Amino acid sequence: MKYKFSLSAFLLVVSFAAIASQPRKVLVIGIDGTRSDALQQANTPNLDGLLANGLHTFDAWHCGITVSGPSWSDIMCGVWENKHGVTSNSYTGSNYAQYPYFVTRAKELKPSLYAVQVTEWAPMSDLVSNDGWDQKIKVPDGAGTPTAAAAVTALANENLDALFVYFDAVDLAGHASGFNPSNPSYMAAIEGVDGHLGTVLNALYARPNYANEDWIILITTDHGGIGTGHGGGTDIERNIWWIGSGNAIQQQTITGTDPGSYQYTGFPYFVEAVDTAILRQTPVQTDIAVTALHHLIYDTGTNPEDVTAWDLDGKSWLKTITSVAEKPAELSVSVYPNPASDLVSLWFENKKNSRVNYAVYTNEGKLVNVPSVITSQNKLTLNFEGNADGIYFIKLNIGGNEVTKRVLINQTAPKGVATPDHDHSNCNGKH
């Protein structure tokens, strides 16, 4: 097997105990080129109906290249452009062999899963390899009605486990007459796609066994737009939205969290540009694949974030998260920088000035000796110098309150600083 488990035996027992008996299934809807502000102003009863149960944000931010090829690869592979290699709509340079679609990953553990893609955009159908679909259906670009009809047919198959449906009409309207909420044809396109979404959802809810199935619905766009185009780094191109709906998804409404300054300045730009501490709390595009994958393989007890060989950038928004790193914590701790090459600082709230203890483990669970440079009431700085590149878990104990944080050590990452400074517990470690 290509993957490696990093969970301890104890956690595996816990996670298996939490498994629900209903088969877990995934519907991913892609609506190309839909500005967040326009979506909020449009009349979209079907999207609105999904907001209440799960996660939603109108303040998600595109951390990569605001072009469809790279963006949909972020969304479907769960990694950014520096890994999947797609930087344009020509799809040249793609590395789907090493970083495939989430469906391919799910089938590594569950080969019998059945997955269908319905897409209006030909490059997504013709230029992507190793995507794992059992059936790839190409429908006329921007038409909507045949797209919904193909999705309805796919949903009639009782054995269906994963369905991706992609609509292009909004992006086409933006290119034709402007990505702008004051453009009536742009708004009409959004409302038209919402109508088609209604058709798809009705077919989902009409599945004979729907009551005994555990579906999550993940919906997002790939980018916004400015004028009649996109591909740059302005906020209205980068500001996107994200809906994760279903009983298995965390109940959360997230507003205002921008992972930081990450305008596209050349490849590879991502690792150094993004504040990873804020990224952890913000829905971004790579989270779609990881959440979908986690749901599909949930009964195997594996959290995709823990599979080292998969090297995913996204995170799972499922309610029950089994990894060491994501155990629900009472303490709020920020880690910076992450990835790091040597010094890593952790900021936390410690009003009672409790004693701060820590331990560091490798991804395999082995205790390693990492000395502290600073230990203060609100800050701990560790020196990872001399440790091999890889994922480490820092277990903090502050006055009996425990939390575990994950950090990636990489010799090419920025160097940290060892200055005892002001209280960073409210600034997420952002400088």
Q: How far is the CB of 174 from Zn ion (least distance, A)?
A: 7
360, 394 in Cβ contact below 8 A? yes
* Least spacing, CB of residue 231 vs Zn ion, in Å: 8
Q: By beta-carbon distance, which residue lies closest to Zn ion?
A: 171
C-beta of 74 vs 171, nearer to Zn ion: 171
The residues binding Zn ion (CB under 5 A) are 33, 171
Give least dist CB 32 to Zn ion, A. Answer: 6
Residue closer to Zn ion by CB (options 33, 54) is 33
How far apart are CB 121 and Zn ion at their closest, in Å? 9
Min separation Cβ 275 and Zn ion, Å: 28
The enclosing H or E element of 125 equals helix 122-126
Nearer Cβ to Zn ion (33/304):
33
To Zn ion, the closest distance from the beta carbon of 138 in angstroms equals: 18
Question: Is 225 in contact with 288 (CB distance < 8 Å)?
Answer: no
Query: Nearer to Zn ion by C-beta: 33 or 142?
Result: 33
Please identify which residue in the block is written with the tokens 């089938």: 107
The pair of three-digit structure tokens given for residue 133, joined into one six-digit string: 């679909």
DSSP string, 45-114: HHHHHHHTSEEEEEEEE--S-SSHHHHHHHHHHSS-HHHH---STT-TT--TTTS--HHHHHHHH-TT--
Instruction: Write the single-letter amino acid at 120.
Output: E
What three-state secondary structure class fits 218? strand
By C-beta, is 68 or 428 nearer to Zn ion? 68
Q: Which is nearer to Zn ion, 68 or 350 (CB)?
A: 68
Query: Closest CB to Zn ion among 171 and 313?
Result: 171
Cα 73 to Cα 63, 67, 172, 397: the distances in Å are: 13, 10, 19, 39
Query: Smallest distance, Å, CB 202 to Zn ion?
Result: 28
- State in angstroms the smallest separation of the CB of 259 from Zn ion: 23
Rounded Cα distance, 32 and 26, in Å: 19
* Beta carbon nearer to Zn ion, 55 or 124: 124
Contact in structure between 305 and 284 (CB atoms under 8 Å): no
* Cis bond before residue 337 (omega within 30° of 0): yes
Half-sphere exposure of residue 204: CA atoms within 13 angstroms, side-chain side: 25
67: nearest Cα among 285, 284, 231:
231
- Please state, in angstroms and rounded to a whole number, the distance separating the CA atoms of residues 154 and 328: 37
Q: What are phi and psi of 243, to 5 degrees?
A: -125, 130
Q: Where are the alpha helices (DSSP H) in 156-311?
A: 169-177, 184-205, 235-238, 270-273, 276-281, 286-296
Least gap, CB of 122 to Zn ion (angstroms): 14
Helices (H) and strands (E) in the chain, counts: 14, 16
CB of 75 to Zn ion, least distance (A): 15
Q: Which is nearer to Zn ion, 102 or 241 (CB)?
A: 241
User: Which CB, 236 or 409, lies closer to Zn ion?
Assistant: 236
Q: How far apart are CA 168 and CA 359, in angstroms?
A: 50
Which amino acid appears at position 194 of this protein? D
CB of 230 to Zn ion, least distance (A): 6
| Contact between residue 103 and residue 122 where contact means Cβ atoms under 8 Å apart | no
Nearer to Zn ion by C-beta: 144 or 244? 144
Pairing mode, if any, of strands 239-245 and 214-220? antiparallel
